A = this chain, B = another copy of it.
Amino acid sequence: MSFNTFGHLFRVTTWGESHGPALGATVDGCPPGIAVDESMLQHWLDRRKPGTSKYTTQRREPDQVRILSGVFEGQTTGTSIQLMIENTDQRSKDYSEIAEKFRPGHADITYWQKYGIRDYRGGGRSSARETAARVAAGGLARAALAEMVPDLRITGYMVQMGQHKIDRARFDWDQIDQNPFWVPDAEAAEVWATYLDGLRKSGNSVGAVVEVTASGVPAGLGAPIYGKLDTDLAAAAMSINAVKGVEIGEGMAAAELTGEDNADEIFPGNDGQPVYSSNHAGGILGGISTGQDVVLRFAVKPTSSILKTRQTITKSGAATEIITKGRHDPCVGIRAVPVGEAMVACVLLDHVLLHRGQIGENRGRIG
C-alpha cells in the first residue's frame, strides 16, 4: 500500500477530489472472465450514497459509476479497469471560508503543511467522497469473489454510536437492512434515531464503531510476516477517513484475557475439518485465516465539519475561529459501513489471488 494504491495482486488506485470533475478507481489484476456490469457496482454505491435519510449529508450526489475499460461484452478481460464517477453537485460556495482557515480535527492543516497547496473545495482529496471509489472497486471484488468463493459473505453493520452500544444478545442479521444505521439491533436503532436527531439539530456530530464480518472465508488466506491478513485488514480499515482504531476478534479487549480464556479450543468437525469452541481470534491466527468468521471492527471519529464555533488559525498563522456550514454527516460511521465492507472485499480477493499464486488451489488438509 503506498500513496493512492492498495493491494498486492488485486490493486486499487483511487483518484479525484470532492469538487473536481470526477473521481474514480483504477483497478488492476482482476481475474478475467468475471461477469460484471455497471448496475452491479451501482448496487453497492447506492448503499453509500448521501442523502438517503436525514441522518446523512443532504448533498445530492447520484454517484453514477461508469466502467471505462477492462470489461468487454459483460466480462472482465484481465486488464486494468477504470471506474469513474462524475461529480455533479459542486456547490463550491459552501466551502469558501476554509480556503484560508483550518478546520480543527480535519486534514486541512496537514495537507497544507505537507504539500504547501491544497484543493480546499469540500476537502478536496481528503474528502470522504473518495470512498465512493472504494465502494465501486469493492463491488468489483465482490463480483470476483462470488465466482471464486461462492460461500463467502461480507456484512458490515454498526455496533456503537457515541456511547450507545448494541446489545449482542439482540443481534439479528435481518435487522441490518431495516434501519438507516445498518444496526443489527432493532431497539438500538430506535435509541440511536432519537440521539442522532438531537445531535444533528444542534450542529454537532458523533463517532461510531463499525464491524464487518466475513463468513465462508477459506482457511489459509494471509501470509506471514508483513503480509498477514489482519495486517492488510488493519491497513485497509485505517486508511478509511476518520478511522482511529482497528480490532480483529477480541481486539483491544484481548489484553484483559488470560491465555486459558483466550485460546479457542479445537475439535474435529463432522466434515473432518476443525471446529472451534469460540472465536476470540476473529478468524485469524498468525496472520492466516482459520476458516472461522473473520471479524474486523473499526472506530470512526466524529466529523470535524460541525456547526459549532471552534478556535483555529489561518494560513498566515493568525488566531481566528470557525464554524463549518454546509451539509455534513452527523455520524459518518453510517456511511462508513459500506466502505468497510468494500475494503474487506478488496483485501479478501487480493489474498485469495496471492494464496493461489504462491500455493495453488489446495494445500494442507487436516485429516
Contact check: which of B104, B230, B290 meets A266 at CB < 8 Å? Answer: B104
A188 CB–B CB distance under 8 Å:
no
Contact with B along A85-114 (1 / 0, CB 8 A): 000000000000000001111110111111
**In the docked arrangement, what's the CA distance between A230 and B245, Å?**
10
**In the docked arrangement, what's the CA distance between A290 and B32, Å?**
19
Chain B residues with Cβ below 8 Å from A68 are: 15-16, 20-24
Decide if B259 touches A252 in the complex (CB within 8 Å).
no
Decide if B102 touches A266 in the complex (CB within 8 Å).
yes
Contact check: which of B81, B233, B302, B364 meets A262 at CB < 8 Å? Answer: B302
Decide if B28 touches A259 in the complex (CB within 8 Å).
no
**In the docked arrangement, what's the CA distance between A92 and B223, Å?**
25
A162 CB–B CB distance under 8 Å:
yes
Q: Which of A70-78, A166-174, A178-186 contacts B (4 or more CB under 8 A)?
A: A70-78
Decide if A310 touches B263 in the complex (CB within 8 Å).
yes
Q: How many residues of A contact B (CB 8 A)?
A: 166
Chain B residues with Cβ below 8 Å from A284 are: 110
Contact check: which of B8, B112, B117, B315 meets A72 at CB < 8 Å? Answer: B117
Identical subunits present: 4
Decide if A251 touches B245 in the complex (CB within 8 Å).
yes
Least CB distance from A23 to B in Å reads: 7
Residue of B nearest to A218 (CB): B113
Residue of B nearest to A275 (CB): B313
Decide if A234 touches B225 in the complex (CB within 8 Å).
no
A335 CB–B CB distance under 8 Å:
no
Contact with B along A267-287 (1 / 0, CB 8 A): 110001110010011101111
Chain B residues with Cβ below 8 Å from A355 are: 114
7 contacts between A and B (CB under 8 A): A22-B68, A22-B82, A107-B287, A115-B363, A207-B255, A226-B235, A268-B318
**In the docked arrangement, what's the CA distance between A187 and B233, Å?**
37
Contact with B along A321-358 (1 / 0, CB 8 A): 00000000000010000000000000000000111111
Contact check: which of B14, B107, B245, B353 meets A252 at CB < 8 Å? Answer: B245
Chain B residues with Cβ below 8 Å from A234 are: 234-235, 237-238, 246
Given A15-B68, A109-B266, A246-B234, A258:B363 Cβ within 8 A: no
Least CB distance from A94 to B in Å reads: 17
Q: Which of A46-54, A57-65, A122-130 contacts B (4 or more CB under 8 A)?
A: A122-130
